[in-house]
Structure 1
Amino acid sequence: MSLDMKEHPDAEVQKNQVLTLEDWKEKWVTRHISFHQEQGHQLLKKHLDTFLKGQSGLRVFFPLCGKAVEMKWFADRGHTVVGVEISEIGIREFFAEQNLSYTEEPLAEIAGAKVFKSSSGSISLYCCSIFDLPRANIGKFDRIWDRGALVAINPGDHDRYADIILSLLRKEFQYLVAVLSYDPTKHAGPPFYVPSAELKRLFEK
């Protein structure tokens, strides 16, 4: 399910917009992180029961996780959380702000990449590009909470991104994606405007 937008006739205007991984790292350095919601995402709170369906012991994936407080919400409910984030600053701040001890180790498959794991073992955060994520190693997921990943991905990378998301889903799954409604001719993004037709094209299958 998606939350929620109207179609805009000028949705194509952003299609050539590109941010690099270094651009995203720089946002954390310069504290341009208005995308972070300290109290968690209100729409996830509203739809949480529908999203979880009363199930326990789920595996939940957070693409482009930043330091999302919702990761601790799920871990505290007994679920296992895996996230991926390009900024080591964001990952370290998550553990510090949530008062969680953790370990870190290099990822042999990816030069310079690391994985950070909470001491409880319930949260594992990969510091790398989502497109480099070692999918075979992290397994499949029951839930994906996309609180700001699809709208941050360069529009030209939507198909690559959808391929990763679909490859990580178990047969019975819930994928909740939050998107924004605005006039894309007045804002270059990110967050980028993702019309409902694009969501349908990417994920209808």
Structure 2
Amino acid sequence: MTENWLARWVNGRIGWHEADGNEGLKLHWPIDAGRVLVPLCGKSADIKWLARRGHEIVGVELSELAIRQFFSEQNLTFCFTPGEFLNCYKCSELPIILYCGDFLDFTGGPFDALYDRAALVALEPNIRPYYADHVTGLLKPGASKFVVTLEYDQNIVPGPPYSVMPDELIRYWDDLKQIEKKNDIDNCPPKFRAAGLTEISEVFWTSHL
């Protein structure tokens, strides 16, 4: 997965990226303040949106190109510090720190909240349990979670991004509750429509109602 993920960024094959951020996040984000973990953050505009709401944002991303594009596109500057396993990019203007490296090597908890829009759905099924366990270990007891998943027929087109069904998600975090489900076929990566898929559900979950 590592080489494929990096190649997607180099070749610009990032159909899951939302240049203006996620609308569901802006509608439903329930947490007032705190330290927020954003795994596999890419160059998401959601990072800046969350930081402007008073959160301390810590993102982890495998692609250095994605991190540098985030700072460039959001007109932010950073201080760079190399690390043994993960390199650190600390924003000069907002409370944002992005780490570059393997998320499973990241140990910078604890966190008050989780925001996962593009991490769980990016991972192959056999990797997702390890990812979820690692996330849980980084969160404070009772931490708030905001998770966005996709549901679609993988017999028509395979991931990534992958379909993650409710029963699997609840096995990882049984405090999550579904708050919205909508057909997002018009905004999904082009390969889905090209394969003939007519429906792909974007599903919003939170533990903090």
Q: RCO higher in 1 or 2 (8 Å CA, sep ≥ 6)? A: 1
Which residue does 1:168 correspond to in 2?
138
Q: Deviations over 1:39-71 (max 9, x none)?
A: 1111111202xx21xx23x10111100001111
Which residue does 1:81 correspond to in 2?
57
Spell out the pairing of 1:47-86 with structure 2 (5 A cutoff).
Answer: 47-48=28-29, 51-52=30-31, 55-56=32-33, 58-86=34-62
Q: Equivalents in 2 of 1:164, 1:132: separation in Å?
A: 9
How far off its partner does 1:196 sit? 0.7
Which residue does 2:193 correspond to in 1?
none
Amino acid at match of 2:171: R
Spell out the pairing of 1:139-154 with structure 2 (5 A cutoff).
Answer: 139-154=109-124
Q: Deviations over 1:51-107 (max 9, x none)?
A: 21xx23x10111100001111111112210000001101000100111111011111
Q: Which runs of 5+ in 1 are unaligned?
A: 1-19
Which residue does 2:27 correspond to in 1?
46
| TM-score (norm. length: structure 1) | 0.81
Say how many residue pairs are matched: 175
Q: Deviations over 1:128-175 (max 9, x none)?
A: 011121x1xx12111111011000011101111111111111123211
| TM-score (norm. length: structure 2) | 0.80
Task: Look up the SS of the partner of 1:61 in the other structure.
Answer: strand
Select which of 78, 93, 98 maps to 1:125.
98
| Higher strand fraction (1 or 2) | 2
Task: Look up the SS of the partner of 1:36 in the other structure.
Answer: coil
Q: Which runs of 5+ in 2 are unaligned?
A: 176-209
Q: Equivalents in 1 of 2:93, 2:72: separation in Å?
A: 15
Runs of 4+ in 1 over 3 A off after TM superposition: none
| Superposition RMSD in Å | 1.3
